[in-house]
Amino acid sequence: MEQLSTQRYAIDGTPFGEAPYGEAPFGEAPFGEATSALAPNLTPNVHWQSVEIDKLARAKLKAQRPAALWLTGLSGAGKSTIANLVEQKLHAMGRHTYLLDGDNVRHGLCKDLGFSAADRSENIRRAGEVARLMVDAGLIAIVAFISPFRAEREAARRLFEAGEFVEIFVDTPLAVAEARDPKGLYKKARRGELKNLTGIDSPYDTPESPELRIDTTRLTPEDAADGVVAYLRANGLLRVA
Ligand SMILES: Nc1ncnc2c1ncn2[C@@H]1O[C@H](COP(=O)(O)OP(=O)(O)OP(=O)(O)O)[C@@H](O)[C@H]1O
Ligand SMILES: [Mg+2]
């Protein structure tokens, strides 16, 4: 790939030279450490800025309907496995997607968060907001997070327009997920070496009315992913925007 120049230019064409941009223009973060989902909105002087190119325009350019496919379930349930297959199938159909995988997002955006109830809530709040931005960008965002709390899943749902948010319950009983234990987390938890593991010593609120429920004890990952694509087709989410 061609090497891009790293030289900085001002918009009048004058090079900034080799010096870095320097300090952030606003100095210290003005809003303190309000990271919790329960924290008040501390931005009373920040107004919504309207922009001309909107979601529909971006979606039209991509010729697709934006949506958030939200996979929830226990660790080891199969969220990442199925989400990966769904993304591959949509990609092969020419759809613009992005897979937000809980583990990967915890390597960056959410690396400051642990597994307490408050941190899990904040983790889901951020996932929801990022997915919303991606949907606003015209993408099909696939979110594979345990997302154990019903309240946070419902809060995420409220960020989207009707029909845009597809909650997919990857339904795997604890005993089955524990037998799979692809990351060895259940073994660690049973040995007392891992705290706050969902299903062991941290709760999981079973979805009451997800758009889609996948019983992974009866379906292969491939069949499950086909089922998700079939759901999207049947509900008009694969139509051209
Ligand atoms: N029917 C099935 N559907 C999905 N995964 C299955 C199925 N049968 C077996 N598996 C296996 O179960 C494991 C599921 O692991 P996966 O990492 O996808 O879970 P996860 O829900 O993403 O967990 P975590 O929340 O810890 O990231 C994989 O090793 C997968 O191959
Ligand atoms: Mg996963």
- What residues does each domain of the chain span? 65-234
Is 80 annotated as ligand-binding? yes
Is 77 annotated as ligand-binding? yes
Superfamily of segment(s) 65-234: P-loop containing nucleotide triphosphate hydrolases (3.40.50.300)
Q: Which ligand neighbours the alpha carbon of 197 most closely?
A: 1
Contact 167, 128 (CB under 8 A): no
In this prediction the pTM is: 0.88
Q: In what order do the strands lie in the sheet with 212-215?
A: 97-101, 140-144, 67-72, 165-171, 212-215
DSSP string covering 45-65: T--PPP-SS-HHHHHHHHTS-
Residue partners of 161: CB distance under 8 A and separation at least 6: none
**Ligand 1, atom 27: closest residue by C-alpha:** 75
pLDDT tens, position by position, 94-151:
999 999 999 999 999 999 999 999 999 999 999 999 999 999 999 999 999 999 999 9
CA–centroid distance, residue 214 to ligand 1 (Å)? 12
pLDDT given for residue 2 in this prediction: 73
Taking the CA of residue 170 as reference, the ligand 1 atom at the shortest distance is 21
Residue whose token pair is 């350019």: 61
Q: Which of 189, 140, 196 is nearest to 168 (CA)?
A: 140
Residues carrying an active site annotation:
147
pLDDT tens, position by position, 16-65:
555 444 433 333 333 333 344 556 677 788 999 999 999 999 999 999 99
Half-sphere exposure of 87 (CA within 13 A, CB side): 21
pLDDT band at 12 (very low <50, low <70, confident <90, very high): confident
Contact 115, 132 (CB under 8 A): no
pLDDT given for residue 7 in this prediction: 75
Residue partners of 15: CB distance under 8 A and separation at least 6: 7, 8, 9
CA–centroid distance, residue 88 to ligand 2 (Å)? 16
Is 76 annotated as ligand-binding? yes
Whole-angstrom Cα Rg for the chain: 21
Kindly report the CA angle at 154 between 151 and 156, in degrees rounded to 5?
110
Contact 65, 59 (CB under 8 A): yes
Long-range contacts of 125-129 (CB under 8 A, 24+ apart): 125/37, 125/152, 125/155, 125/156, 127/100, 127/102, 127/156, 128/152, 128/155, 128/156, 128/159, 129/159
Dihedral of alpha carbons 86, 209, 203, 152, sign:
positive
